[in-house]
Amino acid sequence: MSSSQLALAIELLSNHEVVCIPTETVYGLAANLYSEKAIAKIYAIKGRPRTNPLIVHIGRKEDLSLLCSEVPAPLQRLIDRFWPGPLTILVEKSAQVPDSITAGGTRVGIRMPNHPLTLELLQSLPFPLVAPSANPYNAISPTTAKHVQDYFALQIPLILDGGPCQQGLESTVVGIEKGQVAIYRQGIITTEQIREVVGNVIDRCGNTKELTAMAIDNQAQAAPGMTLKHYSPKTPTFFCENIEKYKEDSDGKAFLLFCKKNPLLPQEHQYLLSEKGDLNEAAARLYQLLHELDVQSYRQIICERFPDQGIGRAINDRLLRAAGGIVSQ
Ligand code: TXA
Ligand code: MG
C-alpha cells in the first residue's frame, strides 16, 4: 500500500467512515470498533440485520486482553498455532466491546488476519476494526477489490486493493462449551487441523442432512448470522449429489465441479475449481468462479458435492448455502 493510501485509510477510519480492507480470506468492510456511527453504516451498507454480530480484527495478539476478560486455554493454543490467520475465536467480551457488534450477546468474535496491508493498517491505528465480509447481505463474498467495486463503488470512500485473497473462503469460527472447543462455522482452518491441536471438538456446523432439514423446516438460524440462504449468486443455484442426472437436461446450465469433467455433460459448460484435485486451490477459486458464472447468461448453476474432508467440508457448506439448502439427489 502506498503511504498516502495508508494515511487516507487511517484518516477515514478515525472519522467514522467505512473502508474496504483485504484479508487472506475475503475482503472486509471495516469500521472503528468504538464508532457507533461507523458501525451503523456497515449494517446499512450491507443491508444486514443488527442481530448478526461482527468480527473484531486486531493487529497484535496483545490487543486481545483489552477485548475479553479471559482466553480459555484451548483457544489460546489455537491462537498460538493459527494467528495471524483465518481463525475467529468467540470469547466473553470485556466492558469496552460495544453491545452493538455482538448483537447484545456476551461473546465477541475476534481474529488477527494474515494480510500484510491490513496488518500494517491495524498496527498503525489506535483502535481495532470490526469487519464483516464486504458483500450485500446474502450475496457472494468478495475475493477481489473489483468484486467490492461492483457491489459498493458509490457507498465506500476507499477500497484498499490487496490483490486476490489467497485463501478465498471465510475464517473458521470457534468457541468454548464446557471447556471443549466448539466449531460454529466451517472455514479455512479445518476440523482436522483443530483436532490436532486440542483433541476432541464439538461440531455445531451441522452436516448436509441437518442443514437440508433446517431449510425444509424453514428454521434457518443455526448460529447468529448463519442463515441458510447465504453466499448466493443471483442465478438459481443447486447442490447436487449426482450431476449425471442432468445428461438429458443440460440446457442453460453451468456445472461447477471439483477436478474432473463428466463425459455425459456438455464439456464447454463444465467448470473445474482445481484440475489437480487440490481442495485448497478449489476453496481459493470458489467465490471468483461463482461471481464469473453469475454474470453469464446461464439459467442455473449446478454444483457437485465435494469430498467431505478438510476444506471440502467448508466448500460443501458454502455451496449448500448458495443453493439455499436445496439438495437435488
Ligand atoms: O474471514 C472472515 O471471517 C471475514 C473477513 C473479512 O475477516 N469476515 C467475515 O465476517 O466473514 P462476517 O460478518 O461476514 O461473518 C461473521 C460470522 C457471523 O455471521 C457469525 O456467524 C459469526 O461470524 N460471529 C461473529 N461474531 C459472533 C458472536 N459474537 N457470536 C456468535 N457468532 C459470531
Ligand atoms: Mg459474510
Q: Is the peptide bond before 128 cis (omega within 30 degrees of 0)?
A: no
Mean pLDDT (whole number) for 162-175: 98
Mean pLDDT (whole number) for 15-42: 98
**Quick one: pLDDT at residue 211?**
65
Q: State the Cα–Cα distance between residues 283 and 90, nearest whole angstrom.
A: 24
* Residues 253-283 as b or e (16 or more Cβ within 10 Å = b): bbbbbbbebbeebeeebbbbbbeeeebbbbb
237-328: which CATH number, 3.10.100.10, 3.40.50.11030, 3.40.605.10, 3.40.50.920? 3.40.50.11030
Å from CA of 261 to ligand 2 middle: 30
> Which residue, by CA, sits nearest to atom 15 of ligand 1?
132
**Quick one: pLDDT at residue 58?**
98
pLDDT exceeds cutoff 70 at 208: no
Mean pLDDT (whole number) for 301-309: 95
Å from CA of 54 to ligand 1 middle: 5
Considering only CA atoms, which of 37, 8, 4 is closest in space to residue 20?
Answer: 8
Mean pLDDT (whole number) for 132-140: 96
**Quick one: pLDDT at residue 224?**
47
Of 9-23, 158-172, 208-222, the one with minimum mean pLDDT is: 208-222
How does residue 3 score in pLDDT terms, banded at 50, 70 and 90? confident
Å from CA of 110 to ligand 1 middle: 9
Domain boundaries along the sequence of the chain:
3-211, 237-328
> Which residue, by CA, sits nearest to atom 32 of ligand 1?
224
pLDDT exceeds cutoff 70 at 329: no
Pocket test of ligand 1: the residue of 55, 92, 152 to mutate, having most ligand atoms within 8 Å of its CB, is: 55
Residue 149's alpha-carbon distances to 20, 153, 154, in angstroms, are 10, 5, 8
177 or 221: which leads in pLDDT: 177
Which tens digit of pLDDT belongs to each residue from 105-135?
999 999 999 999 999 999 999 999 999 999 9
pLDDT exceeds cutoff 90 at 34: yes
156 or 4: which leads in pLDDT: 156
Q: Which cell goes with 151?
A: 457491489
Helices in 100-250 by DSSP H: which ranges?
116-124, 145-152, 191-198, 208-217
Closest ligand 1 atom, residue 111 Cα: 7
The one-letter amino acid at 144: T
The answer to whether domain 3-211 and domain 237-328 are alike in fold is: no
**Quick one: pLDDT at residue 241?**
87
What is the chain's mean pLDDT, rounded?
Answer: 93
Which tens digit of pLDDT belongs to each residue from 236-294?
999 998 999 999 999 999 999 999 999 999 999 999 999 999 999 999 999 999 999 99
> Which residue, by CA, sits nearest to atom 10 of ligand 1?
132
Stated pTM of the model? 0.94
> Which residue, by CA, sits nearest to atom 26 of ligand 1?
109
**Quick one: pLDDT at residue 239?**
93
- The domain defined by 3-211 folds into DHBP synthase (3.90.870)
Which ligand places an atom closest to the C-alpha of 321?
2
How does residue 199 score in pLDDT terms, banded at 50, 70 and 90? very high
**Quick one: pLDDT at residue 222?**
40
**Quick one: pLDDT at residue 328?**
72
pLDDT exceeds cutoff 50 at 315: yes
**Quick one: pLDDT at residue 207?**
67
Q: Which residues have CB under 6 Å of ligand 1?
A: 23, 25-26, 28, 52-55, 86, 88, 90, 102, 105, 107-109, 113, 131-133, 170-171, 173, 185, 223-226
